[in-house]
Amino acid sequence: MALVTMGPMLKRARTKGYGIAAYNMIDYNSARAIVEGACALDAPIIVQVSVKTVKHWGYKPIALWVRELSASVDIPVALHLDHCTDLDVLRRCVDAGWTSVMFDGSSLPFAENLEKSLKAYEMTQEARVGLEAEIGAIGGVEDDKHINEDDARLANFDECVRFVRDMPNLAVFAPAIGTAHGVYKGEAKIAYDLLERITNAIDIPIALHGGTGLTEQQFHRCIAGGCAKVNISTMHKILFINSFVALKQEKPKLEEPLAFIARQNEEMKEDVMTVIGVLGSSGKAGDALQSIIAGK
Ligand SMILES: [Zn+2]
């Protein structure tokens, strides 16, 4: 089926209490593993792309790959741009066929973040593309952005309310609640109380960034607290490389590239399926589709 926008299905996921996985693709093979993993479990899925990856492959190839993958399955697939700080890049993705985008103005002062997010909001509303925006500073490394532990900043509750009031139709909102990008050193310290306050005040699904390394219990608590979009990137990157290395170590004489690509696909797909199982979105493709048809 055609690519879908993520807003209605995330709203439905929040209402029904499950999470939709948003996996960062690296290339065609990884995008295929993401869609195939979701398809095997009849789950809705978000394929997301970092700005760095978009610039590496180009706008059109990525849009074409994911559109083709989506066309061959019956589950809802959204193509999302992750952590974009540049409105021109965002515009080009919208023009190339992305169905949802994130504008990340979190490193800007509040007023400037709001102003630029509103520009992104206008752009996406016109094109009927879903928008994600961020408040606070999510720690760790994402693309070329490095935020160390000391600079990571939880979202300010009042700012969250003001921000969302001006963008009533945000598809998903990403307040920093203590999770971080990359690999956690200890257990992630999630500010559940803040998540609860935000969820009670704002009727918009929440995005959980830094999903790699969270425990099953943490996922469940965050989903129960209003998180509907669950981002996974680091684990996918680790498997992308380690699957190649492991196969070469097992069979040093193997030189057929397709065997490595098949192994990579298999391992990434398995991870996607495990995560979908934990998030509770197995078998929810039909439910998500109904929300899209209903437009809410
Ligand atoms: Zn993120």
For the stretch 158-179, pLDDT in tens is 999 999 998 888 999 999 998 9
Helix (H) or strand (E) holding 14: helix 7-16
- Ligand 1: distance of its center to the CA of 209 in Å? 4
- Given a cut of 60, whether residue 209 has pLDDT beyond it is yes
Element (H, E) at 170: none
Closest CA to 137 of 126, 150, 125, 128: 150
Per-chain residues with Cβ under 5 A from ion ligand 1: 209
Is 82 noted as a catalytic residue in this protein? yes
What pLDDT is stored for residue 15 in this prediction?
Answer: 96
pTM: 0.95
Percent of the chain with pLDDT over 70: 97
Catalytic-role residue among 27, 42, 74, 82:
82
Taking CA atoms, 127 is separated from 87, 101, 117, 268, in Å, by 14, 11, 15, 32
- Give the gyration radius of the chain's Cα atoms: 18
pLDDT of residue 294: 82
> Does the pLDDT of residue 12 top 60, yes or no?
yes
Q: Which DSSP helix (H) or strand (E) runs through 143?
A: none
- Look at 78-92, 168-182, 254-268 and tell me which has the smallest mean pLDDT: 168-182
* Ligand 1 centroid – CA 233 distance (Å): 8
Over the chain, what is the mean pLDDT? 94
| Distance from the alpha carbon of residue 250 to the mean position of ligand 1, in angstroms | 34
Report which of 286, 14, 58, 31 is spatially closest to residue 22, judged by C-alpha positions. Answer: 31
> Residue 258's pLDDT band (boundaries 50, 70, 90)?
very high
